[in-house]
Structures are given as structure tokens and as C-alpha cells.
Amino acid sequence: MLTTQQLADIEQNPYKADFPLLAQNPDLTFLDSAATAQRPEVVLDAERTFYTTMNANPLRGLYRLSVEATEAIDEARKTIARFIGAVDEKGDPQGNQIVFTRNASESLNLVARTLGPKVVLGPDDEVVISIMEHHSNLIPWQQLCRATGAKLTYLRLDDDFRITPEEVASKIGPHTKIVSVTQVSNVLGVQNDVKAIARRAHEVGAYMVVDGAQSVPHAPVNVRDLDCDLMAFSAHKLGGPMGIGVLWGKSEVLDAMPPFLTGGEMIDSVTETDAVWAPVPQKFEAGTQDAAGSFATKAAIDYLASKDMAKLEARERELATYLTDRLNDLPYVDVIGPKDGSRHVSAVAFNVRGVHPHDVASILDMSNVCIRAGHHCAQPLLNYLEVENRATCRASVAFYNDKADIDRLVEGLDKVWSIFGGAVDTKEA
């Protein structure tokens, strides 16, 4: 339950004006930031600025424009590294630990395809993931285990939607070679203790991979503190452009991994019979890079940093708490996940009793309320939870949302219930 001051804080919105789509559509209620975030004006400007002032192929020219494009990418790497705590003992950002991909899915596929061969998995080995993984952090490991004969083991949730220390200790053991876990569930919005999981993984000599797609946009993340070996996330979920993903890794881990794709500037030298790879990160970046996208990603992170990530996280926690409280108060709605809103990072899953989530989302859209409906690329989780229709509605907040957005969602849900269910006074037992 929020205090009077907290309610007043989320009633105010000093951010929405920075986002053209939201500013130009004041009647729009956008509650699907877990799928993709809105872009601030500075990001849109940055991409245009690149193309109008320094458009050239990076790494491939000695002329001024090409050099400037190359420098823009290098600065983007440093900005991203600083943002996620990838710094050395002096606090200097380690830009060479930042690999650009197309999205978090590609980053995770890269890891599975390259870390797997390095580890040399066999029939007696195990890869450990959680039951709440997005398909992007599940299917690549399924494929790897199928190809190598290794066993895929799942960390499962208790009744309070937590992965307990006991579960971690029992599932991560001497046969575990790789652990790959999401920091925040894209469905439930719950945050996993990946630092503790990483500690256990390293105790048994395993690598720790983190899917940060839902954590990096919403809370301060420090990879040094987490002591993970690799982390993946996407630019578009933190206000950057679509088509840019990030893979961060410890230098010694990235250096030991073979390339994922070949061609272009990922080579140092080529003969008729062999090739020598370029150093990291170029080793993993075949072909022409999206330099404009990287430049715009830097602008997105600069924007977030200028607003203070800790402050933005606190606001989003308040929004998620208010959202969860309002949903809990509706007698025809079941929240899928913790009833305590403070445990939700952005996303809150729910269902309207007896109404398919697709119908809920369609009717809400008539009121200009945007939510997600379906399995959210997490079918094993919804099967495990035995959710009706194996689908949920999902409302996900960002700092540019406000109290009015959530109130409009609730008004829309009342309309849904009036169409499909009628009014009830209390929730069914």
C-alpha cells in the first residue's frame, strides 16, 4: 500500500513530454514496456544526427567520416559498460567487453553456440536454467543439450514465486557446467537473486549467464557485483532503437569463445586455407555494424543516467505497487504472481476470470489501453503454474507512466467485465 506522498508522486509525470509518441497521443495508455519501451526525443534525434553528420562505414575507412563513425561506436561501448558496472579497478569502463548483436535473443544464441563448444559438454554434464525463462534463454540451451547429450535442468519456483537457496543448492552441482538465468521474469516481474546463483555456479566451476533484458532497463545493474560471466540485454527495452542487442562478458571468457558468425571485420588476417580472428569485440561482429543504432543506444543510456536510475527504479516500484493493489481490489481479477506489488519489476501478470486474455486485450485496445496478452514467450512457465488457457494478460510500467494510466486500465477492465461477466461483490474462494 502506497503512502499519500507516494500516490502524489506517481500522479505527477515530469517524463511523458520527453517521449513524442506519448506526448502526441495524450489519450494513449501504454502499458507494454516489457515488450518494448517508448523512445525519448533525444534517441530519435541521435539516430538522425548520425546519418546527417557522420554516416560512413565504421572500421573500414581512413577518412574522417569513417573514423568518426568508428569513434561513435567505441564511445557507445564505453557508455554501456559504465552503465552496467563493467569497469576496472580504477573505475574505467571496459568497452572492449561490449559486443553488439541484433537483440538479446541473438546474444543468448551466441553464448549457447560458442560457450557450449568451449565447455565441451557431454552426456554426464548439465546446463541449469529456470522454469521462468523467456524462450530466448531456453530453446538455445535445449538445442545445445540435444546436440551434446547433456541434461537440461530447471530451477523451479516455490509457492511464493521464489527460487529458494535450497533449490539452487540441490540443482547446481558437480555435473553443472553452465547456468543461465533471467534476472527478472518477463511474465511475473519477480527478481531472482542471480548474485547468489552465480556464487553457487562458481563454487562448482560452472559459467554464469544472465538474461538482463528485463532488469537493465528498470534497475541499476552492476555486473562486477553480480560476478556473472556473461549478460545479455536489448537496446529497445531501455528506450534505444530496435535492432541493437548487447552481450557483455568477462574478457577471459569472451577471448576463449570461438566466433559465432564469420566475414567482414571479424578477422585479423585471411589466407586461402585459414583465418586469424580479430580481438574481442570485433571477433563476434561480422559484417557492417548498425553504427547509427549504437550511437542512439548511447543517447538512450545517457538519458536514463541523467534522470538517475535509482530514482527511476523507485518510481517504477511505486507504479507497480499501485498497479498490483488496484488489480488485487478487483473481484474478478486474479494476479498471477506475488500479491505484494513491491516485488514486481515493471511487469504484473493477471487474468480476468472466465475471459480469454486475447479478448481482454482487444477490448482494452478500444479504450486506447495497450497491454500484452498471450504466453509471453514463456510457455513452460505458464504450464508449470497451470494458468488457465496457458496465457495471461500483462501490464508493464515504465517511469514515463503515471497513476492515471493505471486508473484507465482499471476502468477498461470494468468494461471488459461488464461485457463478459457482469458485476460481482467478492472474489470467489
Write the pLDDT tens digit of every residue in 274-292.
999 999 999 999 998 899 9
pLDDT score for 360: 98
**Which three three-digit cell numbers place residue 112?**
549457447
Residues in Cβ contact with 116 at an 8 Å cutoff, skipping those fewer than 6 apart: 144, 148, 178
Average pLDDT over residues 345-368: 97
Last residue of a domain, one of 279, 306, 333: 306
- Scan for cell 571468457, then name that residue: 253
Measure the CA–CA gap between 53 and 83, rounded to whole angstroms.
26
| Band of residue 187 on the pLDDT scale cut at 50, 70, 90 | very high
Last residue of a domain, one of 306, 340, 371: 306
Same domain, 359 and 269: no
> Could you report the per-residue pLDDT of 122-143, keeping only the tens digit for each?
999 999 999 999 999 999 999 9
> Could you report the per-residue pLDDT of 361-392, keeping only the tens digit for each?
999 999 999 999 999 999 999 999 999 999 99
pLDDT score for 106: 98
Measure the CA–CA gap between 71 and 82, rounded to whole angstroms.
17
Same domain, 294 and 318: no
Measure the CA–CA gap between 299 and 196, rounded to whole angstroms.
32
Same domain, 163 and 296: yes
pLDDT tops 70 at residue 425: no
Nearest to 402, CA basis, from 7, 136, 92: 7
Measure the CA–CA gap between 247 and 234, rounded to whole angstroms.
9
Q: Is 377 a catalytic residue?
A: yes
Residue 151 backbone dihedrals phi, psi, to 5 degrees = -100, 135
pLDDT score for 424: 42
pLDDT score for 289: 87
Same domain, 245 and 318: no
pLDDT score for 422: 57
Same domain, 69 and 155: yes
Nearest to 93, CA basis, from 222, 260, 236: 222
Same domain, 113 and 212: yes
Judge contact between 97 and 74, C-beta under 8 A. Answer: no
CATH of the domain at 251: 3.40.640.10
Active-site residue, selected from the candidate residues 145, 228, 377, 393: 377
pLDDT score for 116: 78
Same domain, 15 and 79: no
Measure the CA–CA gap between 7 and 325, rounded to whole angstroms.
12
Residues in Cβ contact with 277 at an 8 Å cutoff, skipping those fewer than 6 apart: 259, 266, 267, 268, 283
pLDDT score for 62: 83
Residue 30 backbone dihedrals phi, psi, to 5 degrees = -100, 110
**Which three three-digit cell numbers place residue 83?**
552503465
Same domain, 218 and 363: no
> Could you report the per-residue pLDDT of 62-90, keeping only the tens digit for each?
899 999 999 999 999 999 999 999 999 99
Judge contact between 401 and 31, C-beta under 8 A. Answer: yes
- Scan for cell 513530454, then name that residue: 17
Task: Tell me the C-alpha to C-alpha distance, in Å, between residue 20 and each of 33, 241, 268, 295, 394.
Answer: 15, 14, 43, 19, 24
Judge contact between 417 and 332, C-beta under 8 A. Answer: yes
Same domain, 231 and 333: no
Domain total of the chain: 2
pLDDT score for 423: 42
Judge contact between 34 and 347, C-beta under 8 A. Answer: yes
Same domain, 340 and 249: no
pLDDT score for 118: 79
Tell me, rounded to whole angstroms, the distance of Cα 153 from its chain centroid: 22
Angle at alpha carbon of residue 147, lines to 213 and 184, rounded to 5°? 15
Same domain, 270 and 358: no
CATH of the domain at 397: 3.90.1150.10
Same domain, 52 and 24: no
Domain-located, residue 40: no
What range defines the domain where residue 384 resides?
A: 4-30+308-420
Last residue of a domain, one of 306, 331, 354: 306
| Band of residue 60 on the pLDDT scale cut at 50, 70, 90 | low
| Band of residue 359 on the pLDDT scale cut at 50, 70, 90 | very high
Residues in Cβ contact with 307 at an 8 Å cutoff, skipping those fewer than 6 apart: 15, 399
Judge contact between 244 and 235, C-beta under 8 A. Answer: yes
State the burial class of residue 214 (Cβ atoms within 10 Å of its Cβ: 0-12, 13-18, 19+): buried
Judge contact between 413 and 401, C-beta under 8 A. Answer: no
pLDDT tops 80 at residue 427: no
Angle between helices 291-307 and 41-53 (to 10 degrees): 150
Considering the chain, what is the average pLDDT of its residues? 95
